[in-house]
Structure 1
């Protein structure tokens, strides 16, 4: 099963003619291609699948979707990654 994870755009820019941005999920930030959602900007929520924002959604839908994914145990990759970054080397 393929999942799209909701996240908030915290920065957007153009890189070599391609729209990209920083999107925050569960306290971590990833670089995401925003080319498929040209109407989305900083402060908007998007659904991200394999590094591409595929749709814009409102805050309530993002929160509801994230809660469902947590209940299904599908957010561990995000939280495990966050824990690994905070561990001392």
Structure 2
């Protein structure tokens, strides 16, 4: 199962302006922000992340609601976080 997981934007990768660093449940990864180029994103904003791409900007309250739901599904969420820990976009 592939899930869209909320991530908090913590910084833009200066040498690759279409990449940003996000924190997803304590795991920091570079993700592609190209789909949201027109959204004027900045550190502290929340995005929905799927397979290394930010799909949409979401509010902090929406991110919390999604995270609460994801924690409730158990193993699928754990598997997704484990896969994220093993991935990297360099």
Unaligned runs of 5+ in 1: 83-89
Q: Give runs of aligned pairs for residues 66-77 of structure 1, distance below 5 A.
A: 66-73=67-74, 74-77=76-79
The structure in which a higher percent of residues are helix is 2
**Corresponding residue pairs, total:** 82
**Whole-Å separation in 1 of the counterparts to 2:15 and 2:43:** 16
TM-score, normalising length: structure 1: 0.78
The structure 1 segments of at least 4 consecutive aligned residues displaced by more than 4 Å after TM superposition are 79-82
SS at match of 1:21: strand
Q: Against the structure 1 CA distance between its residues 14 and 81, is the aligned structure 2 distance closer, same or farther, given a 3 Å change threshold?
A: closer
TM-score w.r.t. length of structure 2: 0.77
For structure 2, which runs of at least 5 residues remain unmatched after alignment? 86-90
**What's the CA shift string for 1:4-55, capped at 9, x where partnerless?**
0001000013545x51110101111011000111212211000000000000
1 or 2 for the larger relative contact order (CA 8 Å, sep ≥6)? 2
Larger Rg: 1
